[in-house]
Amino acid sequence: MVQLLDYSPRDGRIRRRRVLFTLTVVIASVSSIFAVPQFKAFQQRQNRRVEIRAQFIAQLASAERALEDRKIENAATALVRAEFPTHVESRLFWRSELNSFERRADRIRQRIGEIYPLIQREHEAKAKAEREREEAISKSRTGLEVEHVCIIRCTRSASDLFEALKKRAIEQMKNGNMRQAQAICEQIAELDPVYRFDTQFWENAP
């Protein structure tokens, strides 16, 4: 009988190798099945981060252009569009990047706060001059004294409107209707360009 050499493969070794190879293939296949969805989710998050960063930069640039043109309402609206996704989807970013978003937005907000009172005074001065001109014309035509009408701002009504809009925006956020919530926030910014949504407001995002 011929003696097999030590390095010659035996049937047992061949079977073990086949079993190990089969197990390796099965494990790799199962791992790929679970890994593919995880990779897709990771890629989606990464793509969303890129979109939010791009929107943030673009909207801040729009806000700066609006400030240069002294269009405060447009600047405030652009600021909301820049900030909104960074708050409602803050889980996608590290705290350091969120802080960077906030610092850059605060610089725009500070400029809005500086320019807005000046524009308000200009509008009030123009309105006053227009009223005085109309009164002078009326006097010259009728020769009668024109009664001064006091324009009273309904601060309570404005406050009630703000609270109603905030409540509606919070409801939309809690229900996951982010587009509607953002649209309401933009309305608030148009009514009061210097208004700032606080941390308590953003915590209502799911």
Question: According to the model, what pLDDT value does residue 148 have?
Answer: 42
* Max Cα–Cα distance, the chain, nearest Å: 141
Distances (CA, A) of 50 to 54, 62, 143: 6, 18, 68
Kindly state the percentage of the chain with pLDDT values over 90. 51
Judge whether 155 and 53 are in contact, CB under 8 Å: no
Question: According to the model, what pLDDT value does residue 123 have?
Answer: 75
Report the predicted TM-score, pTM, of the whole model to 2 decimal places.
0.70
Q: What radius of gyration, in Å, describes the C-alpha atoms of the chain? A: 33
DSSP 148: P
pLDDT in tens, 83-127: 999 999 999 999 999 999 999 999 999 999 999 988 888 878 777
Alpha-carbon torsion angle 97, 72, 114, 121, nearest 10:
-170
pLDDT in tens, 139-182: 665 544 444 444 444 455 667 888 899 999 999 999 999 999 99
Pick 147 or 37 by higher pLDDT: 37
Whole-angstrom distance, CA of residue 172 vs CA of residue 180: 6
Judge whether 72 and 153 are in contact, CB under 8 Å: no
Ranges of each domain in the chain: 41-202
